[in-house]
Amino acid sequence: MAISRIAHTRRGFLKCLAASAPVVVSARAWGGAGAVRPGNRITLGFIGTGSQGVEANLAMFIQQADAQVVALCDVDSQRLRGAEETTNRYYAKTTRSGAYSGCLTTTDWREIVARDDIDAVVVSTPDHWHVIPSVAAAKAGKDVFCEKPLTLTVREGRVLSDTMKRYGRVFQTASENRSKSNFLLACELVRNGRIGKLLKITTELPKGHSVQGGYGANPPAEPVPEGFDFDMWLGPAPEAYYTPARCHWNFRWILDYSGGNLTDWGAHINDIAQWANDSEHTGPVSVEGHGVFPHGMLYNAPTHWEITYEYANGVILVCRSGTPGIRFEGAEGWLCCGWDTIEASSPRLLQEPIGPNEIRLRTCPQREQRDFLDCVKTREDTYAPAETGHRSITISHIGLIAMTLGRKLRWDPDRERFVNDVQANLMLDRPKRAPWTIG
């Protein structure tokens, strides 16, 4: 049963604990200083229970012996019920959960953030809803695991990263590629100079729109279905009419909520480019490109593009639509990775081990969810903290701006501003519908 409101004092929390949540008490609820004490499970609240939230994140977190799901949130009551059933079914089969009596469910993420018995939140919402609950959770003393693309605008990323640093929160950008052995090896080989001086990186991301549901270019308005809070789904985005074609999976192809495959897959592949180029805390110094934007259609994110970036170290990054993958070209060889593959100009490049005195990059073969839980306990940075996730998705954001304006732009990665371009700088953020702000 969903609980609409709980008492947020310590006394109120303890009084309603047995009736409203699993009998697992976090370190914070007992007066902990922020970090989870040894022996206590990390209590998690999920914001967003769509396919990524359930099939990727809930499915992984729920299996971790040092974690406990205590609350679930979604604006779609049908999806919320499905996530609740999955959670209850799993814990009912395990003996380690003890006197499990269910978890709180709500359609308002603010109830998750306000709870005293939650150590961390898992944000698996559409892109335009990533930053606001993440920032609120950090201010409420909670660590944050957030899906990518991390942000909708460059300014959102700066606010997010600064907030996590200011409040000392552990943050994980859900970047599974950093746990994949082929990408890790490629980046370590590049960083250790095995292909000579790095000259060029080419990233390819899927082209077009992978629309689900067979919707046309301009689907008509429909009544909002019962059990779906469409106004909350829109949140900070502009007012819009309801159509199922707008929501859930297909939000990706609408610029009000995302950036198409340029951001959806750019968060994966361009992040690997940043990793290999040792530019995780900076960015390029110029950007130019061209693309195809559908006009007069609901799905208006670019379908095809080619964008060229130049870094201060002379490396050129070309990001184009095509077949997903990444290629590194150096003065003495090349490396190329597909989703699960790696190739090289010479077989020996892949056979020589990385030496003990060479650069070794931070990873976690057990995936991003496991890395997050470990870091919540140690208070160390995850392998993709907020600053890293922000800088990686900034590549896509400024590329989108350059294509929209149709001209080459100079970028100052230290100030995170375009150089002498007022029009471009106005596009680094977007207005937000009241009352949703990030400060």
CATH number of the domain enclosing 147? 3.40.50.720
Highest mean pLDDT among 13-27, 34-48, 69-83, 95-109: 69-83
Determine phi and psi for 245, rounding to 5 degrees: -65, -20
Q: Which residues pair with 412 in a beta bridge?
A: 417
Q: Distance (Å, rounded) from C-alpha 61 to C-alpha 143?
A: 14
Question: Both 257 and 398 in a single domain?
Answer: yes
Q: Write out the residue range of the structural domain in which residue 16 sits.
A: 10-176
Percentage of the chain modeled with pLDDT above 90: 87
Task: Tell me the pLDDT tens digit for each residue of 151-179.
Answer: 999 999 999 999 999 999 999 999 999 99
CATH of the domain at 307: 3.30.360.10
Question: Both 350 and 390 in a single domain?
Answer: yes
Rg (CA), the chain: 22
270, part of any domain: yes
Domain boundary among 160, 176, 192: 176
* pTM, full prediction: 0.90
381, part of any domain: no
2, part of any domain: no
Asked whether the CA dihedral 305, 285, 134, 403 is positive or negative, the reply is negative
Question: Both 163 and 190 in a single domain?
Answer: no
pLDDT band of 401, cuts 50, 70, 90: very high
Question: Both 54 and 78 in a single domain?
Answer: yes
> What pLDDT is attached to residue 101?
76
Structure-block tokens of residue 358: 């060479």
Average model confidence (pLDDT) across the chain: 91
27, part of any domain: yes
Secondary structure, 3-state, 252-307: HHCCCCCCCHHHHCHHHHHHHHHHHCCCCCCCCCEEEEEEECCCCCCCCCCCEEEE
> Is residue 74's pLDDT more than 80?
yes
Question: Both 349 and 210 in a single domain?
Answer: yes
> What pLDDT is attached to residue 96?
56
**Number of CB atoms found within 10 A of residue 293's CB:** 16
pLDDT band of 36, cuts 50, 70, 90: very low
Question: Both 258 and 211 in a single domain?
Answer: yes
Mean pLDDT over 265-293 rounds to 98
Task: Tell me the pLDDT tens digit for each residue of 120-138.
Answer: 999 999 999 999 999 999 9
Question: Both 191 and 317 in a single domain?
Answer: yes
